[in-house]
Copies of this chain bind each other. A is one copy, B any other.
Amino acid sequence: MDIIENLKLMQETADSLRRVGKKIGVVPTMGYLHEGHLSLIRKARHLSDVVITTIFVNPTQFGPAEDFKSYPRSFAQDQRLAKAAGTDIIFYPTSENMYPPDYLTYVEVDKITQVLCGASRPTHFRGVTTVVTKLFNLTKPHLAIFGQKDAQQALVIRRMVRDLNMDVEIIVAPIVREADGLAMSSRNVYLTPEERRQAVVLYHSLQQAQKIIEGGEKDPQIVIDKITELIRQQPLAQIDYIALVDTEKLKPVSKIQGEILIAEAVKFGKARLIDNIILNV
């Protein structure tokens, strides 16, 4: 496994690989790899000749009051895990090289970035789409794999790729969960033992919502009320949002039918956790 820090070297390496007909799969991550990331790397391994895992804690997707500085990092462990899961190249650029002092350019998807997580994190998705564009230009992938845990991110990236005619196939892989159901996240490390115990309510409330809907409920408000009630039973939980939306425009549905995304964001202390489920009714 190679580790490449230099941007130009990464780009030249990717270009050479393409010229000899290699299929490149990329897994963009912010490091502190867990089983969720590793499932993406394994999928890339299965689908590509060369797997590039990018590790970059991207400053532009954090708000000024967010956890950029304290975001967990562990490059030594990431190397071992990424290699074991099938990575050929870790791309590990510095912030200084990715964003020189006179940096001026952003890629922005309108509308679908202003709801759900975008409502409480107004510059987040602009940072995501900008860095993903840069990473695609540097690693020149045929395919890129993202996790379904960040459901809105996956939709935003798909839209960007389509709109800007990027020649990259976007693959979205299922959420990987802890034994009790909590969605894996690098930010779970922020949780105290008591917060960790209560945090499983995100998954339980989604399961409960699924059960109600499979029982025939068509009114989204009743489902939202039920989820809210369940989450409020956990004293350390602070709800950011609970939403039932369509999977195209991410607009709240007035009736539960077709493909719907149930998404929620809940804070436990320092940790803002998200989870979601897509149902076909």
Chain A contact residues, CB within 8 Å of chain B: 7, 11, 15, 18-19, 21, 102-112, 129-130, 133-134, 137-138, 140, 159-160, 163-167, 248-249
Tell whether A163 pairs with B7 under 8 Å between CB atoms, given A18-B18, A19-B18, A21-B19.
Answer: no
Chain A at the B interface: mostly helix, strand, loop or mixed? Answer: mixed
* Contact call A111/B104, Cβ cutoff below 8 A: yes
Identical copies of this chain, number: 2
**Cβ-neighbour of A105 out of B18, B102, B110, B134 (below 8 A):** B110
In the complex, what residues of B have CB within 8 A of residue A166's CB? 137
Alpha-carbon separation in the docked complex, A21 to B112 (Å): 39
Some 8 contacts from A to B, beta carbons below 8 A apart, are A11-B165, A18-B18, A104-B159, A104-B163, A105-B129, A105-B163, A107-B108, A137-B165
**Cβ-neighbour of A164 out of B102, B111, B137, B248 (below 8 A):** B137
Alpha-carbon separation in the docked complex, A160 to B112 (Å): 24
Tell whether A164 pairs with B134 under 8 Å between CB atoms, given A19-B19, A107-B105, A159-B104.
Answer: yes
